[in-house]
Homo-oligomer: A and B are copies of this chain.
Amino acid sequence: MRMLINTADTVVADALRGMAAAHPDLDVDVENRLVVRRDAREGGRVGLVSGGGSGHEPLHGGFVGYGMLSAACPGEVFTSPVPDQMLRAAGAVDSGQGVLFVVKNYTGDVLNFQMAAELAEDDGLRVEQVLVNDDVAVTDSLYTAGRRGTGGTLFVEKIAGAAAEEGAPLDRVAAIARQVNESSRSFGVALSACTTPAKGSPTFDLPDGELELGIGIHGEPGRERRAMMTSREIAEFAVGAVLEDLARSGPADAPVLALVNGMGATPLLELYGFHAEVARVLEARGVPVARSLVGNYVTSLDMAGCSVTLCRADDELLRLWDAPVQTAALRWGR
């Protein structure tokens, strides 16, 4: 087990103590597992609360701050948080304008956020929820758990966060969040499995020279295993899958936001190389790239691999994307 930790049990609490030490401008509640924007209640904004299992850093705690999340609820590693956390977070950020929960579509997240929403409404809060389910690798049907929420979450949180920062009301912030989700699609590949602190060994066995296509962000294997592909081949496969799905709901040549996201252990050098191939495929297909983001944003612990997320962006989404943001992991404009 090659981990920079004290014990498997204290990983999340230790990380929160570190966030508290590194970011004095955040309210970090280690005991109750919350990261809250210090001025969350000022300005009468809609509160934006997200959360999920830990191990996807900087998501979500790294996105708390001006122009993005009001609070984040980190669960144990790869385990959705408990309703108590979301309930407390909602209480801490509500300024009377209501709260939007941004929920990645996993059974655990959905159930826990749902329970929290009911409890919050019992407390008199107005709560809306948006489900992020951008992963095209998973078949979507009424009879399954549906598509996973992955890289698209960053787009939802940034853009809805900008709308909330501008003072948009709850229903508008929720509508924008849903629009972003509906406009976003992702596809991920793994070159290695990841190791959770609790298990201490890789979650699956991936022989050298093979890769997994269509992985999620929880160390689960993908839909398919193949012989190793080049960066160019992977980009063609992944962007192809994303575009095909995206084309079902809008014009095929609309400008996109492009996120090339590292799973944790893939060097930035390789991610940029991969982005070059993604940009090439998009250009060949006549899809203009309005903005790019390359780096580790929605990770899977120490997994090697990457995902690509495209979000079809109209002028209004672009404007909100460009709006100032000041968080630990995403910052521009101030």
Contacts and interface: CB of A to CB of B under 8 A. Distances in A.
Interface stretch (A14-22, A129-137, A149-157, A178-186): A14-22
Contact of A5 (B54, B57, B231): B231
Contact of A274 (B4, B230, B234): B4
A12 B3 CA distance: 29
Interface string A62-89: 1000000000000001000000000000
A321 to B, nearest CB: 14
Size class of A's contact patch?
Answer: 35 or more
Interface in A300-334: 301-302, 304-306, 326, 329, 331-334
A254 interface: no
B304 A273 contact: no
Given A191-B4, A302-B265, A333-B334, A294 B230 contact: no
B305 A304 contact: no
A55 B267 contact: yes
Contacts of A4: 191, 231, 234, 266, 270-271, 273-274, 304-306
A269 B306 contact: no
B18 A232 contact: no
A18 B294 contact: yes
B6 A231 contact: yes
A8 B314 CA distance: 39
A14 B294 CA distance: 14
Nearest to A30: B276
Interface string A175-209: 00000000000000001100000000000000011
Interface string A260-291: 10001111111111111101000000000100
Most buried by B among A10, A15, A260, A269: A269
A139 interface: no
Nearest to A294: B22
Contact of A18 (B1, B20, B273, B329): B273
Contact of A270 (B5, B7, B294, B296): B5
A2 interface: yes
A58 interface: yes
A209 to B, nearest CB: 8
A292 interface: yes
Interface of A: 1-7, 10-12, 14-23, 54-55, 57-58, 62, 77, 191-192, 208-209, 228, 230-232, 234, 260, 264-277, 279, 289, 292-296, 299, 301-302, 304-306, 326, 329, 331-334
Given A14-B273, A54-B269, A333-B334, 5 more contacts: A4-B270, A6-B230, A7-B230, A18-B277, A23-B292
The 4 closest A-B CB pairs, nearest first, are A18-B272, A14-B273, A17-B276, A18-B276
